[in-house]
Structure 1
Amino acid sequence: MADITLHHVPQSRSDRVLWLLRELGVAVDVRIWPFDKSLRGRDFLALNPAGRVPALELDGQAIWESGAMIELLCERFGQLGRPPGDPERAAWLIWVHFAETLSQHAAACTQQHVALREDWMRSPTVMKIEAARIGKCFDAIEARLSGDWLLTGFSAADVAVAQAVDMGRRFHRIGARPRMAAWLDRCQARPAWAASQGGVGVYTQEFYEVPDA
């Protein structure tokens, strides 16, 4: 049995790794960290030198970057990935890592709306640009979907992208994207999604409006 510890902040990128572990049915010790300067402390930096979640301890090795975690966990436990030689391997890798493209825009909005606590620190221009970029990512997902999942069956690509959408939807509404809305509902109806939720998270609002310039 693997010895796994996930260092986790609810409503962050670490949600996608915890969700995947729940989907895989893998036992994990979850250590919850606050969304504050403790992530820049010596203890956490020893696990992730960028001072960001997630950090994963797998059999005594510290691993960071959620996309790398997803690849390693799918290889290790043999589910929800697409191995080398699989016809969907390239598409699987693209969508697993596309989640980070979307997450970067959501993270920029999170910094503006949440982390920067004084109005004078914030830029409505940055907020508008990054929210629009989230919308472009949503358009790409809507265009991709023709069936229930991003690939021919549910996979870790759905986990990664749906978690990123869950962050991004706080800054750009899903709106008239019916295929994406139905897909997100299917993802979040999965028991493993529910089992990965809980704890004090990053966000205090369901949606953050861009203020007038």
Structure 2
Amino acid sequence: MTRLHHVPWGRSFRVLWLLQEMGITPDEIIRYRIGAPEMRGAGLMGASPAGRIPALEIDGITVFESAAILQYLCETRPQHGFGRAPGHGERVRYLEALGFAETQASLIEQLNLNHLFLRPPARPSATVVKLNTLRLADTLRALEGMVAGDYLLPSGFSAADAMLGFNLFAAPFYVRMDPYPKLAAYWARLQARPAFQAAAAIEGPQTFYAQDFYPVPVDG
């Protein structure tokens, strides 16, 4: 039994996508809505102690945290070549990319919180939103320089690309992508992968973001 605890078009998309790359479709996908009471229920809390997605039940165990899940899948299914094992010449860059993906995603999470989840009378701080938007742009500028050929690593697609794919789905809602042409081409290549398209078909249209772009709010 393979069961994925999942928020559509959230970080758990990384797991769904890599599973599709490996030819694995979960037997069950339990979908949650951020902020819904079910996220504090025994099902998710039993799989992920902080009640956060993703969590994956597979091979008779449960794994939570995106990077841990992807690394577990790569290590237990090395025939796909999506990991970079100790001793591989790209191992350090691979690990850096996995960590960098979460650094970037934490900024997206903060922008999601301020733009989407604050409810009146609470108001987002324009200063805080501006700072996090600029920091997100800095990570995109760095990522622009990290792309090596078609993918992040010279030898080809890896789990690091799946980790960062979620970020490139979400970042354009907060940062204009015109200054990053390499990232635009990279994102187009990721979306063209059959496994990405299969995962997107499982997801359906995104409903998380209600508008195409969220500018920095104005104080006052």
How many residues in Structure 1 have an aligned counterpart in Structure 2? 211
- Cα deviation digits, residues 112-147 of structure 1 (max 9, x gap): 111112263322222111111110110111112241
Letter of the 1:13 partner, please give it.
R
Contact between 1:102 and 1:168, CA under 8 Å: does it hold in 2? no
After the TM superposition, which of the residue ranges 9-18 and 32-41 deviates more from structure 2?
A: 32-41
Which residues of structure 2 form unaligned runs of 5+? none
Letter of the 2:95 partner, please give it.
L
Aligned residue in 2 for 1:10 = 8
Ranked by relative contact order (alpha carbons within 8 Å, sequence separation 6 or more), the top structure is: 1
2:108 to 106, 111, 115: 106
Aligned residue in 2 for 1:202 = 208
**In structure 2, C-alpha distance between the alignment counterparts of 1:45 and 1:121, rounded to whole Å:** 30
1:1-213 aligned within 5 A: 3-28=1-26, 29-37=28-36, 38-78=38-78, 79=80, 80-118=82-120, 120-152=122-154, 153-197=156-200, 198-199=203-204, 201-213=207-219
The Cα RMSD (Å) is 1.5
Letter of the 2:7 partner, please give it.
V
**What SS is found at the alignment partner of 1:63?**
strand
**In structure 1, C-alpha distance between the alignment counterparts of 2:148 and 2:64, rounded to whole Å:** 33
TM-score normalized with structure 2 length: 0.90
Letter of the 2:83 partner, please give it.
G
Q: Quote the offset at 1:36 in angstroms.
A: 2.3
Which residues of structure 1 form unaligned runs of 5+? none
Letter of the 2:20 partner, please give it.
R
TM-score normalized with structure 1 length: 0.93
Identity of aligned residues (%): 39
**What SS is found at the alignment partner of 2:116?**
helix
**In structure 2, C-alpha distance between the alignment counterparts of 1:186 and 1:119, rounded to whole Å:** 42
Contact between 1:47 and 1:62, CA under 8 Å: does it hold in 2? yes
**In structure 1, C-alpha distance between the alignment counterparts of 2:105 and 2:217, rounded to whole Å:** 21
Q: Quote the offset at 1:73 in angstroms.
A: 0.5
**What SS is found at the alignment partner of 1:71?**
helix
**In structure 2, C-alpha distance between the alignment counterparts of 1:61 and 1:146, rounded to whole Å:** 35
After the TM superposition, which of the residue ranges 97-106 and 196-205 deviates more from structure 2?
A: 196-205
Letter of the 1:131 partner, please give it.
T
**In structure 2, C-alpha distance between the alignment counterparts of 1:27 and 1:165, rounded to whole Å:** 23
- Cα deviation digits, residues 86-124 of structure 1 (max 9, x gap): 111111111022110110000000011111122633222
Q: Quote the offset at 1:59 in angstroms.
A: 2.6
**What SS is found at the alignment partner of 1:120?**
coil
**What SS is found at the alignment partner of 2:215?**
coil
**What SS is found at the alignment partner of 1:169?**
helix
